[in-house]
Amino acid sequence: MHAANRFLRAIIWGGALHPLCLIGVRLLTMVSKSRARGLRWVDPAPRGSLLGTLQAWFKLVGGSCLRPWSWSSGPVQTVVNLGDALGLAVHRLRECFRLFMWKGFLGSKRHEVAEVSGEVSQRLVLSADWNSIRDLSFACPAARGVACGALLSPACMDRGGAPFSSSCIWPGCSVSCASFSHIAWNCPHRSNLLIQPQNALDARFGWGSIQSLKWLAEVQKQIWVTRHGDAILRSSH
């Protein structure tokens, strides 16, 4: 079954790795340097020119030109302005890329889309602490899977026809066809009775707080134990 999602992975890791983002960063840097050497603003910029290619990049990711040397995908966190320090402009270009990937995820057929879509989700994507999420993901394979959408509940696995029990993962619980919200946030037999966060992306992917990501990683480990036995945890680090 498909689990880790390419859009979610691109949002977390793509700022430094995804070719589309790297091309955008490179173009912006080149335009910035050329501007410092006297490049003039032309509208429309000729196709194939450096400026024209950067304009096309922003259009591709759903952005538009606000005024000379400034582009945005809509929210204020995505306003790229070459009058700012280049580091800030590059950061905001990456936010444009992340928002584009998020829209790609919302347009996919993933079963989580209904619970994480909505106007507020965009703001949450733009406010997530990716450095902390990446740091924990490096250290913990379970957290890495959770953050990329790879946690599949017993109910989800059952629907997909996987040969695993659909019962709740927590010892002492008799619920069958256990959903994600049951095993992560509602089961009274959980090893930690954390309250479900209001932030839907935090509750599903652990993107809003390290506390949630760590907890969902524990849920993921318990899933592995019920499906593969304790030895699975000794083989992961």
CB of 156 to Zn ion, least distance (A): 15
Q: How far is the CB of 185 from Zn ion (least distance, A)?
A: 11
CA distance 24 to 89: 11
* Tokens at 104, concatenated: 């790609």
Number of residues that bind Zn ion (CB under 5 A): 5
Shorter beta-carbon distance to Zn ion: residue 30 or 194: 194
Residue closer to Zn ion by CB (options 102, 170) is 170
Closest contact distance (angstroms) between CB of 181 and Zn ion is: 11
Scanning residues 90 to 109, which ones bind Zn ion (CB under 5 A)? none
**Rounded to an integer, what distance in angstroms lies between the CA atom of residue 113 and that of residue 68?**
36
* 129-168 residues labelled b (16+ CB within 10 A) or e (exposed): ebeebbebbeebbbbbbbbbbbbbbbbbbbeeeeeeebbb
- Output the smallest distance, CB 170 to Zn ion, in A: 5
User: Considering beta carbons, is residue 174 or 235 the nearer one to Zn ion?
Assistant: 174
Please, are residues 30 and 45 in contact by the beta-carbon 8 Å criterion? no
Q: Which long-range contacts (CB under 8 A, 24 or more apart) does 114-117 make?
A: 115/200, 115/204, 116/200, 116/201, 116/204, 116/205
Residue 170 vs 224, nearer CB to Zn ion: 170
Site for Zn ion in 111-170 (CB under 5 A): 168, 170
User: In this complex, which beta carbon is closest to Zn ion, that of residue 39 or of residue 173?
Assistant: 173
Nearer to Zn ion, 153 or 199 (CB): 153
**What DSSP letter does each residue of 28-45 carry, written as one string?**
HHHHHHHHHTTPPP-SSP
Distance CA 216, CA 237 (A): 16
Span 165-224, contacts to Zn ion by CB under 5 A: 168, 170, 173, 175, 187
Q: How far is the CB of 172 from Zn ion (least distance, A)?
A: 8
Q: How far is the CB of 195 from Zn ion (least distance, A)?
A: 16
* Contact footprint for Zn ion (CB under 5 A): 168, 170, 173, 175, 187
